[in-house]
Amino acid sequence: MRIAVPLFISAFLIPLMLQGQSASKALAVDGASYPETEYKRATAYTQNLYNGRIYYLYDPKAEEHQFYVERKWEKGSVYYDGQRFDSIPMLYDIVRDELVIRSLQGDYMLLQSERVKYFDLMGHHFDRMITGKTIGPSMQTGFYDLIYKGKTRTLVRRKKERQEKIIEKKIIPLFPQKDFYYIFQNGMYHQVRSKKSVLALFPEHSRELKKVLREQHIKYRKNREAAISTMVARYDELAI
């Protein structure tokens, strides 16, 4: 009987110890795979977004630049490849009409324009419009700033052109900007330049449209964008 007790205890404890070792090994394996699983789960949502080409920054030291408004990262939203992504650091190159984002590693990454439905940046909403489908045949496929989204939609095509000048034998890059305005009326987009061309689209309300600019102290030549959007909004109110 003195021998039977230790043998019984040993026979009982050894399986428990082996089970404990197996459980510890299982926990260790699960613990090791947990960070990888969570990483895959976290990046699955954005893997399509961060799958583009590297964007090579040109003229980085020039005083002027190729981007819309700022040459620094601004957080925005983009609808890309069927998904919406928010709080994404981005830049909009309006020389090449390309949307650039910052990768997880901090690189400049170029999104494929044909997979971008729209993006929002610095309070502006840009839609990708396609020649002959969403816009007329005379308009170029690309991103358009929707400055008025009422019934009489108004778009702006933001463009810069890279130019050069030589000062003291040094080449200085310049990036002058031009904005092209389009108003949707009678089933198609019309390009407008002068106040007269805007009023020509709404001849029956030209007096009221001139009046609203005077009331709001908006000079067409000094602030063409505000003038156009104000006139179009006023027209929609009158046309109800």
The ranges of the chain with pLDDT < 70 are 1-45
Q: Report the pLDDT value the prediction gives residue 41, as an integer from 0 to 100.
A: 53
Q: Report the pLDDT value the prediction gives residue 52, as an integer from 0 to 100.
A: 86
Backbone angles phi, psi at 79, to 5 degrees: -100, 110
Whole-angstrom Cα Rg for the chain: 30
Question: The pTM is what?
Answer: 0.81
Whole-number Å distance between alpha carbons of 50 and 111: 8
pLDDT in tens, 85-121: 999 999 999 999 999 999 999 999 999 999 999 999 9
Whole-number Å distance between alpha carbons of 68 and 84: 21
Average model confidence (pLDDT) across the chain? 88
Q: Which residues contact 224 (CB under 8 A, 6 or more apart)?
A: 179, 181
Task: Indicate the residue type of 112.
Answer: Q
**225: which 2 tokens?**
């964008």
Q: Report the pLDDT value the prediction gives residue 13, as an integer from 0 to 100.
A: 47
Q: Report the pLDDT value the prediction gives residue 48, as an integer from 0 to 100.
A: 83
Q: Report the pLDDT value the prediction gives residue 36, as an integer from 0 to 100.
A: 56
Contact 184, 154 (CB under 8 A): yes
